[in-house]
Chains A and B, each alone.
Chain A
């Protein structure tokens, strides 16, 4: 429902942006009257974050960098965010620094709009790449170029409802769980009380999203691409098997809601309403949980296939190549991702800072909702990554949407994997 409310705002935002960009001779303020450099920071955030940015981080940055002024250009939600930014760029009033996530970063990286920050970091003694969690930083690399700095992230773990496990008399998920343990337990945890063949309680739920399903391919020893990302490997037996296991949780075993069995609630809502025993989710879910949980719960590593793997979701900031002030932008990026930004993120309970010195300080991350195994999120970093996204952005996005046929059960997962690999291998040969 949330994304839809954002879509409502979309039309307005776009219309406003077009009107703004179309205004004859639209110009951006580059310097304040007293000679300070003006940087425009484009992002989207919930009201709490806007407060954090506006009242804490930006004033603190301007105090420590008196020659820079930050102008915050905030968008209402994530739908329409990219269209609005595109319109700003097309209208010649592009911002300097933009906020991205694992979802829209591939677009800007593919379009060559982002500054390779290694050129700025090279001579900077105050910056050390090793201060950042490697898998998160690596998610922002293309070749050996680095297109920004991550600020916050989360690994994906298995959340479980202890009460439902107790009632079923099953042991809680832990590091010993394999896919087999997971499936056996899931079949016991799926309950159809009224006998209408649609379970009233599912064992498991997750999104069929690109930030979730690749983990199941990796867990099975498969890969989406070869090392230099020139060949799609989704038609290899290990990839097909891993993808099929994930899909068939819903379409074959029905321990997860199949398409059409969903009630329209998000995984967080289902978990909070005790309609599901487990969900694969990120630490960002804590935000929804802060209102109070009425049952005991905890987190565990994802069940192990032939190996351990999971996905990452993250937020980051990037510098647009059109900026006239790359050095000042770099200072701001370091501030947002470094100690000050990290502490701000911790205060807001926003997942985990990508900046290790803060994130690894003992007790630093503990929140009011943190369960006993909260540390699993950090432990999972060692085997977490972001699935690669080829520079042929549009074609690859369309190819991904055709995976729906597997989730809908109108084609076998194997057939879908093979078609996907064929299609992507054609795409990879085309110019981006």
Chain B
């Protein structure tokens, strides 16, 4: 199978099974892009993730465009981006035409109640697996603790947090 077809199928799957937004799709993205296809190293993946967080737009689209470009250039980025949003388009179209049936069914509510803790677990696992590559010494652990404190308790903006961390990186390394 050519890379373009693989890209399309991979990102279609990522789009179709990512409930709960950008971060929740990280484990699936990592599995597909690094473990299955070996398109990237862990460190490259984290760097791309950092850039996706800093630039405007949904993280999933940013990641798809970036990874698609990495694998097959401009064509790859177009294919990956379309593939990641196609499931959204299909699902939203179905819901729009059957909206009342969807809203009134308690079963859709049960489904989401069931997956919510799992989504939380998925995002937590993403944090840990990124940490395994990002924590290279005591300094990196301290940077992480500082940024967590600022973002979680001081309402620090994500962009400033990343810029600050980059600056600290240049100073301490």
Instruction: Please say whether chains A and B are actual partners in one complex.
Output: no
